[in-house]
A and B are shown apart, each in its own frame.
Chain A
């Protein structure tokens, strides 16, 4: 593994189904983030984790949950998917959550909820 990986690459999901998007990084970064990107809008933060064992809510957390059991993994779960959750989801990480730390992004997961 080099950098950040996400799985799956893309997914079509029926409304009401549960779905977990996976994210793994091998850079030993403390901070990790989940964003969604929709056409015409900037990246919007869903949830974040400043260090293993802690998580926080971002701008658009409703309908999503996360866990951070270890440094490397940061899965995002949609408990009961709805069509408005159709989006491209990016996982990112940074050395720390402080000023000046650039975020490195995974390749993204394209999710369609029907």
Chain B
């Protein structure tokens, strides 16, 4: 079966750095996406990785290792507005997104 695993909840301090991990087992791989979802709102796109390595976009970076079935999202200089759920999703061989359950990130002052 297809499976995406990420931690249910993480807590971090304002101004710090946090890494959210995602491991996956899917039938085929056509890229990995990270989305941010604030409570009661729609998911919004953060990043896309299809090749191994690190993609940096401002305070957010995303890493992919296809051989390990592993990705992480790195958030730097955390702000209170970063409190949200972070969703990992893999595009499978049918070009459909398989979603993890999301990691709820709590930022404390």
Which residues of A line the B interface, CB within 8 A? 40-45, 48, 58, 90, 97-100, 102-108
Q: Does A99 lie within 8 Å of B91, measured CB to CB?
A: yes
Known: A90-B42, A103-B45. A42 touches B101 (CB 8 A): yes
**Chain A contact residues: helix, strand, loop or mixed:** loop
Binding site for A on B (CB under 8 A): 4, 30-31, 33, 41-45, 48, 50, 87, 89, 91, 95-102
> What is the CA–CA distance of A69 and B91 in the complex, to the nearest angstrom?
26
Contact A43 B31 (CB under 8 A): no
B99 touches A99 (CB 8 A): no
- Taking a contact as CB atoms closer than 8 A, the residue among A42, A98, A102, A105 that contacts B95 in the complex is A98
> Looking at B42, B50, B89, B95, which has the most chain A CB atoms within 10 Å of its CB?
B42
Is A43 a contact partner of B43 (Cβ separation < 8 A)? yes
- Given A42-B89, A100-B48, A105-B43, 13 other A-B contacts at CB below 8 A? A41-B101, A42-B4, A44-B99, A45-B96, A48-B96, A90-B42, A90-B43, A97-B95, A98-B30, A99-B30, A100-B31, A103-B45, A105-B42
